[in-house]
Amino acid sequence: MPNTVYIATSLDGYITDRNGGLEWLSRVPNPDGDDLGFADFMTQIDAVVMGRTTFEAVQGFGIGWPYPKPGIVLSRTLSDVPKGFEDHVTLMRGKPADIVEKADALGHKNLYIDGGATIRRFLDADLIDEMILTEIPILLGGGTRLFDLLDHELAFELDNVQILLRQMVKRHYRRDRS
């Protein structure tokens, strides 16, 4: 079961600004069509796994559930799925290995892991198989880092690099388990 990260970072490795915001992402042109390859990526996954904070950011977009796949929201504090998301989201709690097992039982074999804390938890458990990182040409100088301290090294192999819209660098890594 491949677990894949697909996320944008600033040049200095942040995924949110100092205030937890994502507005900096709009400083580069939003391409028409699927220049970034995200729609194609979504056809390859079965469910989106994210933590409560990322889910709250999604709710803040005001457009409902934006993904064509079901969501699994990890939370120790949410007891009910918020109104309007009941048909799209399942709440779960547990360690990453438990989440993968529960998702598999629901028929979700290919998982898109999203959100800083959730990504770091899955990395700590060595449950990330691929990472697709798109670097946006901005230095934020602070915020939430994508990568933090890990208990152990994790080796990845660079599979592909693309330059998008002459501004962004998209790198695709696969976990080296040799």
Q: What is the CATH number of the domain that holds 81?
A: 3.40.430.10
| Residue 105 belongs to a domain | yes
Give this prediction's pTM. 0.92
pLDDT confidence of residue 61 = 86
pLDDT the model gives residue 31: 60
Alpha-carbon distance of 107 to 69, in angstroms, equals 12
Residue 110 lies in a domain: yes
Residue 77 lies in a domain: yes
State the distance between the two ends of the chain, measured CA to CA, in whole angstroms.
17
Question: Minimal CA–CA distance to 50: which of 89, 82, 15?
Answer: 89
d(CA 166, CA 57): 28
Q: Does residue 34 form part of some domain?
A: no
Nearest in space to 25 (alpha carbons), one of 73, 66, 65, 57: 57
**DSSP readout, 69-133?**
S-EEEE-SS--SPPTT-TTTEEEE-S-HHHHHHHHHHTT--SEEEESHHHHHHHHHTT---EEEE
Residues in the chain: 178
Domain range holding 9? 3-14+43-175
In a domain, residue 78? The reply is: yes
Q: What is the pLDDT of residues 5-63, one digit of tens each?
A: 999 999 999 999 999 888 898 887 766 555 568 888 999 999 999 999 999 999 988 89
- Lowest model confidence (mean pLDDT) among 17-26, 127-136, 152-161: 17-26
Q: Would you say residue 133 lies in a domain? A: yes
- Kindly state whether residue 144 falls inside one of the protein's structural domains: yes
pLDDT per position as a tens digit, 101-127: 999 999 999 999 999 999 999 999 999
Q: Tens digit of pLDDT for each residue in 74-102? A: 999 999 999 999 999 999 999 999 999 99
Into how many domains does the chain fold?
Answer: 1
